[in-house]
Amino acid sequence: MVEFVDINGARLAYQIRGPDDSPLFITLHGGRGFGDYRSDFKAYGPLGDRYRVLSFDFRGHGESSPTKPYTFEQIVDDIEAIRNHFAGEEKAIICGGSFGGFLAQHYAIKYSQHVSYLILRGTAPSYHQEEDAIKVLEQRIAKAPSFSVEMLTDKVFGAFESDLEFRLVHLAMSPLYSESFDANATLKSVLGNTYNAESHNDLYSEQEKYFDYRDKLHQITAKTLVVVGAKDWICPPEHSEYIASNIPSATLYVVENANHSVHLEKNEQVLSKIREHLSS
């Protein structure tokens, strides 16, 4: 059941599962302006047998309050406040995918002393991933006939004029995310999502979109696992390869026949690798 906690002036929605005395495992969802905690909690919830799994909606996302500012820095500070609220001085395991992976890197650099393990799924170390996503889309455009390169560059990587436009574009691009697309399940999901064009647009503003952690990856001290689907279209595998080769002692795990939603498509396989990583 969803609960709420007041963090840095915002009211954040979350769910938590697992023994109270176990290590805190914080998941960071993807989707600037449209993602929420639900898919991560579904994917990583089974780890609640040994860890205290906490998934939450960022400010301006899902059921959390639309409290500005919508910036990388503010959300990362919210993550730290969440960790402190639930774990005190104890370190946390941070698991971020896609946009959540950008934030996870940011957090692991800024608050390195508070991260024990870092798990990055289908993400990138800089905004340069967008150039490669455009190239992949040009090759796979037939998978999403209602989507276009212009929608990706001008809307998804740019700005939406309304929440409705945001919802329609997301529906059009959805077939690209999985190797086993389910149209009926996707429609149900899109109808049940919250779309906040304002938070999306702010997080893709000139001040925010040009993030680049490449020169700081060596500062990450957490034991790191980088997971990526071999067919990831929006954060192609070479970006995960770069991350793994530049974080000291990081491990790269490429999952065959999986796309950006590798944690859902190959759930048991990914969870098994995470358990192995956390016990090493």
Q: Give the residue ranges of DSSP H helices in the chain.
A: 38-44, 72-87, 99-110, 129-140, 149-150, 163-173, 183-192, 197-203, 237-246, 262-265, 267-278
Name the strands in the sheet holding 10-17, side by side, starting at the edge strand that comes first in the sequence.
3-7, 10-17, 52-56, 24-28, 92-97, 115-121, 223-229, 251-255
92-97 and 24-28 as β-strands: parallel, antiparallel, unpaired? parallel
For 5, 92, 161, 235, the CA distances from 238, given in Å and listed in that order, are 37, 27, 32, 8
Bridge partner residues of 17 (DSSP) = 53
* Cβ atoms of 227 and 255 closer than 8 Å: yes
* Cβ atoms of 220 and 108 closer than 8 Å: yes
Bridge partner residues of 117 (DSSP) = 93, 223
52: tokens are 């205290």
3-class state of residue 235 by DSSP: coil
pTM listed for this prediction: 0.97
Write the DSSP assignment of 40-103 as a string of letters.
HHHHHGGGGGTSEEEEEPPTTSTTS---S---HHHHHHHHHHHHHHHHTTS-EEEEEETHHHHH
87: tokens are 């774990």
- Ranges of residues in the chain whose predicted pLDDT is under 70: none
Listed residue (183, 266, 275) closest to 229, CA to CA: 266
Q: Which residues contact 45 (CB under 8 A, 6 or more apart)?
A: 17, 53, 55
Instruction: Give the per-residue pLDDT at 280.
Output: 87
Bridge partner residues of 223 (DSSP) = 117
Consecutive H or E run containing 225: strand 223-229
Q: What is the pLDDT of residues 110-131, one digit of tens each?
A: 999 999 999 999 999 999 999 9
Listed residue (82, 119, 150) closest to 220, CA to CA: 119
Domains, the chain: 3-128+210-278 (3.40.50.1820), 129-203 (no CATH)
